[in-house]
Amino acid sequence: MEIMKSSGGTAKDRLDRVDPYGFVRSDDFDYDSYEELMSDYLAVLTRRAIKWSKLLKGKGRVQKNVKLKRYVRKGIPNEHRTLIWMEASGAQNQLEKNPGYYQSLLGAQHDVKLMESIRTDLNRTFPDNIHFRKSSSPGLLRALYNVLLAYGHHNPTVGYCQGMNFIAGYLLIITKDEEKSFWLMDALIGRILPDYYSPAMLGLKTDQEVLGELVRTKIPEVWQIMRDHSVMWTLVVSRWFICLYIDVLPVETVLRIWDCLFYEGSKILFRVALTLIHHNQAVITKAQSLPDVCQAFKQITYGPFVDQCHAFMQKIFTEPGSLSMATLTKLRMTCRSRIIAEDSRL
């Protein structure tokens, strides 16, 4: 976490041009608002850090239980993120059960097409992050390539899908470890998320429709607007699901969402989406055309509501109301069959 330089001057003088994760702040970055926001959030972080270090004292492993879940929802301190993500997602187990597997994937014969499609996106992953620039040495570009290549061979059905580059990039920024990033990718794509990234993208299409159904019952005015202007959900939310909110929401907020994603699963993605839509329904329902609707869905991913990640993460568990796994499973089944039926008719 960022340490503020204590000396005087403006917020811009006190803060670095590069954020703690390596992202270069844009010219129009609002240093004053950020500093105010962080002065509150730092107090939260300090409090949580003390609690976490007590909880983890002398332990290299953790057990999933109600207390840990509560802790995770309140945010994992960055120094413990790798450990908790690895433990909660089962990635640590896989890593221990398969020693040397990651290296063997890198050593094997490589699929040329796969290599090419990964290479196309390497320099287009985080050009605004100092660790992902060609000039940065050692940098994380090589590691990004390795993780994606290994994953593509590990799961040839998925191979490489655009969006996975951003996910692997974030994992590397946090873990700073290729092998752990690989197993966290495996946990996400193989177990936590439905089939978002496979060639048919059926899981993605399904979840977009599921979100639509949830909006229909929970926020009917927004559902009506989408219908009135014939806006397909894919147009406004595909990036939310594929990129797991990377480059949609602020970095700090994304990491807090991922804390819960690794612990509680893909339901969290719906909670975030429903919260954004519910909280901003007045903005969305003002739209008078399809472009207006698209614009509104972008606008709602900016501003204090999403910047204040701690308050936002509390909101996602209250604002959308109840969302049971049973409901989600049932909706997924219905939507999936509907999509398959529609596709076969075409």
Partner 1 sequence: MSRKKAARGKASPRSPRSPKASPSSSSSGSGGGGSSGRSGRGLAAAAAPSSGLVYPSRPSISHSGEFYDMAFKVMLVGDSGVGKTCLLVRFKDGAFLAGSFISTVGIDFRNKVMSIDTTKVKLQIWDTAGQERFRSVTHAYYRDAHALLLLYDVTNKSSFDNIRAWLTEIHEYAQQDVVVMLLGNKADSTHEREVKREEGEKLAKEFGVPFMETSAKSGLNVELAFTAVAKELKHRTMKEPEESKFQLQEYVDKEMRTVGCCSS
250: number of Cβ within 10 Å: 20
Based on CB atoms, which residue is closest to partner 1, 33 or 103? Answer: 33
Based on CB atoms, which residue is closest to partner 1, 124 or 176? Answer: 124
DSSP bridge pairs for 18 = 24
Based on CB atoms, which residue is closest to partner 1, 68 or 201? Answer: 201
Output the smallest distance, CB 318 to partner 1, in A.
19
Residue from 256, 258, 310 nearest 37 by CA: 310
Based on CB atoms, which residue is closest to partner 1, 131 or 332? Answer: 131
Output the smallest distance, CB 40 to partner 1, in A.
5
Output the smallest distance, CB 102 to partner 1, in A.
25
Based on CB atoms, which residue is closest to partner 1, 96 or 221? Answer: 221
Output the smallest distance, CB 23 to partner 1, in A.
3
Measured between alpha carbons, how far is residue 307 from residues 33, 35, 89, 251, 299 in Å?
Answer: 10, 12, 26, 9, 13
Q: Kindly provide the b/e burial profile for residues 114-128, where b requires at least 16 CB atoms within 10 angstroms of the residue's own CB.
A: beebbeebbeebbee
Output the smallest distance, CB 229 to partner 1, in A.
5
Output the smallest distance, CB 55 to partner 1, in A.
24
Based on CB atoms, which residue is closest to partner 1, 94 or 266? Answer: 266
